[in-house]
Every structure is written in structure tokens, then in C-alpha cells.
Amino acid sequence: MPWPPASELLAPLAPWFDQVRRDLPWRAADLDAPHPDPYAVLVSEVMLQQTQVATVVPYFERWMARFPTATALAAAPDDAIHKAWEGLGYYRRARFLKAAATSVAAHDWPGDLDGLAALPGLGPYTAAAVGAIAFQWPTPALDGNAFRVLARLLALEGDPKPHAAALRAWLAPGLTVHGPSRLTQALMELGATHCTPAPECAACPLAAACAAHRADRTGEIPPPRTRPRPREVALWLLAVEAEGHVLLQTPSGKGLLAGLWRWPTADPENHPADCALPRDLMAWPGWTQVYTHRREAVRPLHVTLPTRFQVQDGLRWVPRAKLAVLPMGRRDQRLRSLLGLPGGTPLMEGPDPADLVAALTRDAGPGT
């Protein structure tokens, strides 16, 4: 490996981090000792996957108050867990966290990286991060931020991910010298604050040694990622109400919104647009709901019917009063909030409620 030793190249990171580190509720005061609460590290690392620190902090605090130990989380009902995760997105993380906590509660913490990586949902990055931050193991954690910093520091050409094994072998002695927890968090912090896609090199502690910065190539190392265009869909989001109950899709076991209650949806393309409408079909202004691979043009509708009708599997009439305690994703929370507001406007063109009822007794709509 032609790279200078990590312990030398990354040496400025350790004192820099000691100076700039933020007080975060999951961060231990003593970065040289094993963390006093590995469960808190696990919760924070799982929450921080795909989510910004500022968003995670209040969720973490509420979560730890509600489920303070792995044993408490393992015993909690799924609806309570999803409710506590409501709004954080990527809900499968909550289910994986419960499964990992269940394993820890039953068998205690694994004694090595392979054991951590075998816990449900951890994956190589999270297992290594928990190993370093909770247990002070020299296990290099490479996420997108760390890859970006190291690619620039070492001027790696092309996608840095194929270098993962070599980077881990290079990084491990540096962790041992400067402290696994400290250096791991320092790399994360640098990637999140200075070495962003548009880096601020002037204030970076690694500027003097950074090959990409010195060659003025930070714009091309690593090469910018091209994302596939998200799929565009249009849907009606339906609040169907009758006899003090609302109709909901029960949580499914898989998919983007697994574990969450959802409003039924229907495809506007499959319904006539100009039928005569009763006054009890209301609409609110729509919005665009953005997911990683999908953009939904959402039209929220409220249909009031005189009586409940027989629904197919996967749908359930739920007392309106119970709505507030059910876990829902952001899109469905938004319609729940609209229901609490006065108004909406009568819809002058749109679906015939009879068509919607027919659709709901036939199929559950496209879902997500």
C-alpha cells in the first residue's frame, strides 16, 4: 500500500475533534474508555443512518426515555415502536433495532465484529461503528462520508468503494493509536461538516496533507454520483369515514412503509373525472411527497358515507378516536392532520364515491 501510515496522516484529526466536538446525548464524555451504554450507541447509529444529527437528537431522547434498555425495547409492542419512530423515515430501521435489541437482551452483546455484524439490520458500517464507539475496537467504519474524506485525502481515482478492504486495513492501526471511538467520530464529523460534497478546505485540519485539495481536484474526487430519476406517480389518498370510523390499510410486513398504518389510495387514471358528485366528498390542496425513488402527486380526499361496508383483507375500520395513537408515515400523518382542520372544499370534479367504495372492496390501491 503506497499510502503514508494512517496514524501519521490522520494525526491532526484527534486534537481537532477534541476541540470542536459537540455535546450529543449519545456521546460519551470519555472517548478513551468503552462507552457506558452500548445500547445508546446502537440506537444512535441506527437512527443516524440516512438522517441528519439535528433531526435525530429529539427522537433519540424520546426513544431512550421510552425504551431505556435493550430489554425494554425487546418487550415493547410493534405499534409503540413504530409510533416512536413516526416521522423519522426508513421504518425498517425501527424493526431491525427491535430485533437487534431482542438478541442482545437474550444473549448479551457479541464479543467481536462478526457477532455485531450478525445482529439484524446492522450491516458492516453500523457494526464497525458500534464496535469502535461502544467497545473501543479498532474496527474502521466506512460510510459515504468516510469514503469521501479518505478518497480525497489519498486521491483515490474513481469510486472509492472497491478500495474498502484496503482502506480498512490501512485505517485500523490509526484507530488503535488515536483511539477507535475518537477517530471514528472525528472522521464522521469532518465528513459531515467540512469535507462535504462542496468542501470547506480552508478550515480543515487535514488540508496540509490532503492530496485532492493540494491538486485542486476536490470537485472530481470522488466522482459525483448520478442518481436514477425518481418514478412519478399520481394518487388519491382517501379518508373514508362512516359511523365514527375511518378506513385504514393495516400495516404490511415489508416495503418502504412496513409496520405503518396507511390511508387507502386509488389511481386517478382508473376513475371517471366528470361524474356527478355529492357534497360530502371533500378535497384539500394536494402536495408532492418525495421518497428516494418515487415522487407522489398526492390528492387528499375525504369521503363521508352513511354506513360502513364490508372490506377486503388488508383494510380495517378503525374508531376515529384511535387515529392519533397509530403509527403513520409522513404522507399519511399529513392527511390525519388535515382531518382535524375545518374545511376542505367540496370537490367539483373527481371520483364518484361509489367507484371508490367499489375499488376498496376490490383491491387496496397501488400503496407504496
Q: Give the residue numbers marked as catalytic.
A: 45
- Which residues are 31's β-sheet partners? none
Q: How far apart are the first and last CA of the chain?
A: 46
- The footprint of ligand SF4 on residues 9-38 (CB under 6 A) is none
User: Which DSSP helix (H) or strand (E) runs through 14?
Assistant: helix 13-20
Got the DSSP string for 270-332?
GS-SB----TTEEE---EEEE-SSEEEEEEEEEEE-SS-----TTEEEEEGGGGGGS-B-HHH
Q: Establish if 149 lies at the interface with ligand SF4 (CB under 6 A).
A: yes
- Please, which residue, 112 or 157, has the CB nearer to ligand SF4? 157
Least distance (Å) from ligand SF4 to the CB of residue 3? 14
Per rule CB under 6 A, is residue 222 in the interface with ligand SF4? no
The distance of closest approach from Cβ of residue 204 to ligand SF4 in the complex, given in angstroms and rounded to an integer, is 3
Nearer to ligand SF4, 155 or 318 (CB): 155
Beta carbons within 8 Å of 278's beta carbon, 6+ residues apart: 353
> Judged by CB under 6 A, which of 181, 218, 249, 368 binds ligand SF4?
218
Shortest approach of ligand SF4 to residue 214 CB, angstroms? 8
Task: Assess 240 for contact with ligand SF4 (CB under 6 A).
Answer: no
| 203 secondary structure, DSSP code | G
**DSSP states of 166-200 as a string?**
HHHHHHHHHHHHH-HHHHHHHHHHHHHHTSSSS--
Q: Quickly count: other Cβ atoms within 10 Å of residue 10's Cβ.
A: 26
Rounded Cα–Cα distance for residues 122 and 129 (Å): 10
Three cell numbers at 106?
437474550
The residue type at 327: P
Smallest gap from residue 154 Cβ to ligand SF4 (A): 10
Distance CA 361, CA 256 (A): 24
24 vs 201, beta carbon nearer ligand SF4: 201
- Candidates 95-103, 115-123, 147-155, 323-331; binding stretch for ligand SF4 (CB under 6 A): 147-155
Number of residues that bind ligand SF4 (CB under 6 A): 14
* 331 in contact with ligand SF4 (CB under 6 A): no
Helix, strand, coil share (%) of the chain residues, nearest 5: 45, 15, 40
- The least distance separating ligand SF4 from the CB of residue 137, rounded to whole angstroms, comes to 25
- Counting contacts by CB under 6 A, is residue 262 touching ligand SF4? no
**Nearest distance in Å: CB 129, ligand SF4:** 20
Pairing of strands 265-266, 281-283: unpaired
Question: Positive or negative CA dihedral for 177, 180, 186, 191?
Answer: positive
278-317 mask for ligand SF4 (x: CB under 6 A)?
A: ----------------------------------------
Residue 150 binding ligand SF4, by CB under 6 A: no
* 8 A C-beta contact, residue 249 and residue 261: yes
Residue 186-215 contact track with ligand SF4, rule CB under 6 A, x = bound: --------xx---x-x--x-xx--x-xx--
16 versus 135: smaller Cβ distance to ligand SF4: 16
Exposed/middle/buried for residue 69 (C-beta within 10 Å: 0-12, 13-18, 19+): middle
Site residues for ligand SF4, 151-180, by CB under 6 A, read 152-153
**Minimum CB–partner distance for residue 329 and ligand SF4 (Å):** 35
Closest CB to ligand SF4 among 182 and 194?
194
- Tell me the three cell numbers of residue 288: 408532492
185 binds ligand SF4 (CB under 6 A): no
Q: Contact positions toward ligand SF4, by CB under 6 A? A: 149, 152-153, 194-195, 199, 201, 204, 206-207, 210, 212-213, 218
